[in-house]
Amino acid sequence: MNVRALIPWGRNSTAPNAYREEERSPFLSLHREVNRLFDDVFRSFDTQLPRFGSLSSFNGSWPNVEISETDKDVQVTAEIPGLDEKDVEVLLGDGVLTLKGDKQSQTEDKDRRFSERFYGHFERRIPLGVDVEEDRVEARFRNGVLHILLPKSEKAQSQIKRIAIKS
């Protein structure tokens, strides 16, 4: 096999600057350049632009939560720095735990030069997936961390089945 046949400019033309047929079209060339422009712009879009707006613009990603589950209960821990317990509301209904609150700014916008902090209303909904005893739910708030203990109902505890693993 001839190796020169594998080189694109060696098949039909001897000049390395010879273009393929689609590269001669100005429309295709423009299309390719616009695609490169958008790729370059949006590649670093998330890291270079500051985020503006209220906390509700995060589509439920704030506050950060950690959820753990045992045979007897579900534990939810949420980090909510900069708020007091009076600023946070915890709701439970239809198998969904809802964390709501409002974070206010301590300075006025005219005095602020730059800010990476987030202010405004937030709401985070966490589907539990198990029945809990609503009258025994406990919530504690300390140092900006909210701990919620949700005891599972007897029915939910009895539905857990251990499956033997065979080799």
State the CATH number of the domain containing residue 70.
2.60.40.790
**pLDDT score, position 71:** 84
| Residue 166 counted as domain residue | no
Domain with 10 in it: 3-47
Question: In terms of domains, do 92 and 24 share one?
Answer: no
Question: In terms of domains, do 99 and 146 share one?
Answer: yes
Which residues are CB-neighbours of 62 under 8 A, at least 6 positions away? 55, 118, 122, 124
Question: In terms of domains, do 35 and 76 share one?
Answer: no
Nearest alpha-carbon partner for 99 in 119, 85, 114: 85
CB 90, CB 139: distance < 8 Å: yes
Q: What is the pLDDT of residues 2-55, one digit of tens each?
A: 666 666 665 555 555 555 555 577 888 888 888 888 777 776 555 444 444 433
**pLDDT score, position 160:** 66
Nearest alpha-carbon partner for 71 in 158, 167, 164: 158
Whether 57 shows a pLDDT value over 60: the answer reads: no
Q: What is the pLDDT of residues 121-150, one digit of tens each?
A: 888 898 988 888 888 999 999 988 999 999
pTM, full prediction: 0.55
CA distances from 92 to 24, 29, 44, 118, 127 (A): 64, 57, 40, 25, 10
